[in-house]
Structure 1
Amino acid sequence: MEDRGFDLENRLATLEENELKRTLSPVDRVAERGYFAQPCGSELPVLDSEEALVFASNNYLGLTDDQRVQNAARRAAATVGTGSGASRLVTGDTMVHRDVERLLAETKGAERALTFSSGYAANVGTITALEPDVIFSDELNHASLVDGCRLADCETVTYDHCDPDSLRAEMAARAQRAEASTDSRSGSKATPDGETESWLIVTDSVFSMDGTVAPLSEICDLAEEFGAWVMVDEAHATGLYVDGGGVVQAEGLEDRIHVQMGTLSKALASQGGYVAGSDDLIACLVNEARSFGFSTGLAPPAAAAASEALHLARHSDARERLWENVTHLRDGLETMGWDVPGESQILPIVVGDRRDALALEAALRDRNVVAPAIRPPTVPDGECRLRIAPMATHDQADVVACLEAIRAASEEVGLL
């Protein structure tokens, strides 16, 4: 019989040959430092290494091991249960869900918010539920936005990264094409069935591998000029800006952006994603987002942990401590000769060659600093990097130790 299966062994060998194969290396706790096991398969990992500083986590405010956040999760587990038990459309909707959604809506300046089981599910579910005719997508958008565009089965136009001029050119060109099918009765730009096209601009606010921040105000200007909607992914911004909001709040754009998406799994130290917007938007997602309706609701302990973390993001000094560490690290990296692009808490050290990136990662690990090399397919070949991300819970000595390790490691592998 002819074998119609899958040659997984050869695929894995190709990944290893190209230095693209990943392995898992468990850590004992999610915090600013921890003990890491050697890469392992399915066997029980053994923690026999020295404690290492973690400068690669999305746990930006360091709240995963905050006692107040942990206590909130414990109380929810004891009172409500460890899991939702069903889709929220069945029996999985609880008051804990409503509490975190109320707080998210308040923080994001929206009428209502809705939580999903993950940020990926939130993006894919929202885009496909909206069913746009045309999507304009930043070329470096997160994979969940890209996959949402694919699953929506619509025309997707990619514009140059964080470039309003490129976006304008693409929108103008698409408008000219639509004008050719103008409905002579209404004068509107029309789809083949005569209805007005729906346009959606999608962008991250903070780009996770580049540290760049989208020009949201200019994007809103273009959206209003062409009659489009705007969807912003605030996964790496939620909790870090004014009053615990994101870039949208920092720039006062709540009334100009139709869909605000974010995650509970980064600065908010939990799990899941959310979408904030109008009452009508959320009602539509409740009814039509398949990744919401056909998934078990967010676990109550996760929802409660996110609520407490968001409260702390708004009312503690965690954000200020994070940005102090970011400034210290950025200044130190630039002083030693590294060009650090972007203007966020994500500090990429772009080395180019994947072997150089892997060598720098290993040299840092030898100095008990964890900052994994980022390689294809996450970033393009030739743009490999280390992604340095401090936490609010790193103290000044930790930041100094990280900088000293980067300098020594860079000199060891010949990059400085």
Structure 2
Amino acid sequence: MTHGFSLGRRLEQREERGLRRHLNPAESVAGRTRLADDPGGGTADFGEPELVFAANNYLGLADDGRVQRAAETAARSIGTGAGASRLVTGDTTLHRALERDLADSKGTERALVFSSGYAANVGVIDALDPDVVFSDELNHASIVDGCRIGADETVVYDHCDPADLARRMDARSGDADSESWLVLTDSVFSMDGDRAPLSDICDAAERHGAWVMVDEAHATGVVGADGGGVVQAQGVSDRIDVQLGTLSKALAAQGGYVAGAETLIEFLLNEARTFVFSTGLAPPAAGAAREALRIAREGTRRERLWENVERLRDGLEAAGFEVLGDTHILPVVVGHRDDAMALATAVRDRGIVAPAIRPPTVPAGRSRLRIAPMATHDEAAIDRCLDAFERAGTECGLL
């Protein structure tokens, strides 16, 4: 009898199912870069430059000189790491300044920065300790894991379907007075490119006295007149109890945040284990995120991104592809996983990085390529992407 874990065999099984993943280093995080196959413990052998249409660096700020200088200034003036939990000695004036800016952009009393968006979701759900969570079926893994850890019971409702949410809440309405209920949804869904109907979700929640928590990971800095996200764009800021987001996507840094009422933030900094027992966000990340937020709010990057999105969506649909959603994430549905893999390879052969997304991440028969343009892609880059997809689609017999 053995009490081992048979990790080698588990990896073989993933390989047999086509689910084995590898780390493929990039030379930089720009919209155009060189990539290498997984070098293991060796030196990366980079290929020719390729256009990246797969990153969450939506505003193209990760290699922006202003953001880099802000990170450098923070490292030189404060340090490269916080050195401790923020409840010990890891709290700095830079963390506080970033949180004030985030709260202002979200229209809330206060914000709190976590080490990652994942930590924020898990920590908040665990700290709130809801009796019942009503969760959209396509919510991010961090929400799913937060529910596993922190919720007594999780009820999954149909994707972006407030009517189904209302039915499921009505079915247990007799328990509403004695239980704490939390409705959880992403605002922009990363694999379908659509956005949650927050007003209708709030209607259903308010009928039962439930709180609403929204994860703005893919909307922060991108959606809304002030980059405040879908909550801001749909005019429901005063109806959402907990707003979350990340600093690692459009804001080009690292970390996550929670925004809401003063009492919520004070409670979380005392009770959220992923905050209390984690070293504070590194000052360079805080400095970079703060500058990126300023650029997102004051500059023209958002407008340039949406111009690229419109041009790319129109071109893909004109070529005959099915493109989901209505946001800056453009999922091109292919169907069978093998066809998606073939299309991704054919597109890559033409210098465009847009990996295939396969089951179990998406439903069987709905494999896709997830395209994410950046504000820094020029017209030539968008045209090259469209040409690559049209030629590759024809080559693979998909058009």
Q: What residue in structure 1 maps to residue 355 of structure 2?
A: 372
Amino acid at match of 1:271: Q
Cα-to-partner distance string for 1:312-337 (whole Å, 9 max, x where unaligned): 00000000000000000000011011
1:5-56 Cα distance to aligned partner (Å, 9 max, x none): 1111111111111111111111111011100012332322122x11000001
- State the partner residue of 2:102: 104
Counterpart of 2:239 in 1: which secondary structure? Answer: coil
Counterpart-to-counterpart distance in 1, 2:293 and 2:15? 41
Contact preservation (8 Å) 1:322, 1:391: yes
Quote the Cα distance in structure 1 between the aligned partners of 2:343 and 2:319.
15
Alpha-carbon distance between aligned partners in 1 of 2:50 and 2:93, rounded to the nearest angstrom: 39
Aligned twin of 2:303: 320
Which deviations, in whole Å up to 9, do the C-alpha atoms of 1:254-280 show, x marking residues without a partner? 110000000000000000000000000
The CA distance in 1 between the partners of 2:153 and 2:120, in whole Å, is 20
Match of 1:333 in 2: 316
Contact 1:83 1:298 in 2 (8 A): yes
Residue 126 of structure 2 is matched in structure 1 by 128
The aligned counterpart of 1:274 is: 257
- Pick one of 23, 32, 56 that aligns with 2:54: 56
Give the one of 361, 374, 390 matched to 2:373: 390
Give the TM-score taking structure 2 as reference length. Answer: 0.98
Contact 2:125/2:151 (<8 A) preserved: no
In structure 1, the partner of 2:25 is: 26
State the distance in 1 between where 2:360 and 2:87 align: 36
Q: Distance in 2 between matches of 1:377 and 1:304?
A: 37
Letter in 2 for 1:9: G
Q: Give 1:376 deviation, angstroms.
A: 2.7
- One-letter amino acid of the structure 2 residue matched with residue 234 of structure 1: E
Secondary structure of the corresponding residue to residue 262 of structure 1: strand
- Name the count of aligned residue pairs: 398
Matches within 5 A, 1:337-376: 337-376=320-359
C-alpha displacement of 1:153: 3.8
Tell me the TM-score normalized by structure 1: 0.94
Cα distance in 2 between the residues matched to 1:290 and 1:42: 35
Give the alignment partner of residue 278 of structure 2, picking from 286, 295, 301.
Answer: 295
The share of aligned pairs that are identical, in percent, is: 65
Equivalence for 1:42? 41
Q: Secondary structure at the match of 2:2?
A: coil
Contact 1:108 1:276 in 2 (8 A): yes
212, 224, 227: which is aligned to 1:230?
212
Q: Matched residues in 1 for 2:70 and 2:29: separation? A: 17
User: Does the 8 Å contact 2:133/2:151 carry over to 1?
Assistant: no
1:53-90 CA deviation, whole Å, 9 max, x = no partner?
A: 00010000000111100000000000000000011011
In structure 2, distance between residues paired with 1:126 and 1:44: 40
Match of 1:200 among 162, 174, 182: 182
Contact kept? 1:364, 1:409, Cα under 8 Å = yes
Root-mean-square deviation (CA), in Å?
A: 0.9
**Does the CA-based 8 Å contact 2:56-2:250 persist in structure 1?**
yes
Q: Deviations over 1:197-226 (max 9, x none)?
A: 111000000000000100001011111111
- Deviation per CA, 1:152-206: give whole Å up to 9, x if none: 1411110000001100100000114x2xxxxxxxxxx45xxxxx21110000000
User: Match of 1:236, SS?
Assistant: coil
Q: Unaligned regions of 5+ residues in structure 1, if any?
A: 179-188, 191-195
| In structure 2, C-alpha distance between the alignment counterparts of 1:153 and 1:275, rounded to whole Å | 18
Q: 1:230: how far off?
A: 0.3
| Contact preservation (8 Å) 1:62, 1:393 | yes
CA shift at 1:383, angstroms? Answer: 1.9
SS in 2 for 1:255: helix
CA deviation string 1:83-137 (max 9, x = no partner): 0001101110011100110000000000000000000000000001001111000
Which letter does structure 2 place at the counterpart of 1:389?
A
Q: 1:160 corresponds to which residue? A: 158
Q: Displacement, 1:338?
A: 1.1
Partners of 2:41 and 2:131 in 1: CA distance: 44
In structure 2, what is the equivalent of residue 186 of structure 1?
Answer: none
Provide the rounded CA distance (Å) in 1 between the counterparts of 2:255 and 2:201: 27
Tell me what 2:167 maps to: 169
Q: Does 1:245 align with 2:228?
A: yes
- In the alignment, the residues of structure 1 paired with residue 257 and residue 37 of structure 2 have an alpha-carbon distance, to the nearest angstrom, of 34
| SS of 1:105 mapped into structure 2 | helix
With 281-290 and 373-382 compared, the bigger mean Cα shift is at: 373-382
The residue aligned with 1:183 is none
> Structure 1 CA distance, aligned partners of 2:324 and 2:138?
15
Letter in 2 for 1:225: R
Match for residue 66 of structure 1? 64
Give the letter aligned to residue 14 of structure 2. Answer: L
| Cα deviation code 1:327-359 (max 9, x no counterpart) | 000000110111211111000011121111111
Deviations 1:349-400 (A, max 9, x none): 1112111111111111100100011123322332211000000000011000
2:289 corresponds in structure 1 to: 306
Q: Is the 8 A contact 2:160 2:196 kept in 1?
A: yes
Q: Distance in 2 between matches of 1:30 and 1:221?
A: 41
The question of whether the paired residues in 1 share the 8 Å contact of 2:37 and 2:44 is answered with yes
> What amino acid maps onto 2:226 in structure 1?
D
Residue aligned with 2:394, SS: helix
Partner amino acid, structure 2, of 1:172:
D
